[in-house]
Amino acid sequence: MALPQIKTILYATSLGKHTRPIFRQAVKQASLNNAKIVMLHVVEPMGEMGHALIQHYVTEELIQKMHDEGIQAIHENMKERVAQFCADELESLEHPIVLDIEHKVAEGHHADSIVKAATSVNADLIILGAENRFGHHSNTSQQVIRHAKVPVMVVPTGKNFE
């Protein structure tokens, strides 16, 4: 029996302040395994009530335009964060690490979207944080562990781990 190969890592991020330790682990695993990183950010869709309220003030076309611009802004934020990480932590390394990163934004329930994305990108490993943006243990990580079909690495994200 052959040892499992890790070719694609799904790195799920909240884009919060304390997510760098999680990304470090994704970069380390990608470097060790010569793997691609798929960086995923999940946003909850606007609820029915919010959508119904906003429809009274703006057109559907404007709602769609705002949505698309918001998704584009998230993609740009992801790219900027990776560039800053590389400048801060990778450029000074003796042996440079070249990252292969794809940025994805999904809409839906966080855990379901992460598990679904892992399947769609054929991920061999999921890496995510142990805490939500409020510093509490994440229900999302627990649900991903429960439902994922591939190994899940959960990284502590408290301030002491920085």
Per residue in 68-114, pLDDT (tens digit) is 999 999 999 999 999 998 888 887 777 778 889 999 999 999 999 99
Residue 1 lies in a domain: no
Asked if residue 135 is part of any domain, the answer here is yes
Please check whether residue 105 lies inside any domain of the structure.
Answer: yes
Tokens of 58: 């703006």
Residue 3 lies in a domain: no
pLDDT in tens, 8-34: 999 999 998 888 899 999 999 999 999
Domain count, the chain: 1
How many other C-beta atoms can be found within 10 angstroms of the C-beta atom of residue 151?
Answer: 13
* pTM for this model (two decimals): 0.87
Give the range of the structural domain holding residue 59, as residue numbers without chain letter.
Answer: 8-161
Q: Tell me the C-alpha distance between 36 and 29, whole Å.
A: 10
Do residues 34 and 6 lie in contact, with contact meaning Cβ atoms separated by under 8 Å? no
134 assigned to some structural domain:
yes
Q: Which residues contact 92 (CB under 8 A, 6 or more apart)?
A: none
State which amino acid sits at residue 127: I
Q: Would you say residue 35 lies in a domain?
A: yes
Distance separating alpha carbons of residues 141 and 132, to the nearest angstrom: 9
Task: State whether the Cα torsion 148-112-77-133 is positive or negative.
Answer: negative
Is the pLDDT at 58 greater than 90? The verdict is no
139 within domain boundaries: yes
Question: Which residue, 36, 25, 38, 44, is CA-closest to 113?
Answer: 44
Residue 51 lies in a domain: yes
Percentage of the chain lying above the pLDDT 70 cut: 93
Q: What is the CATH number of the domain that holds 13?
A: 3.40.50.620
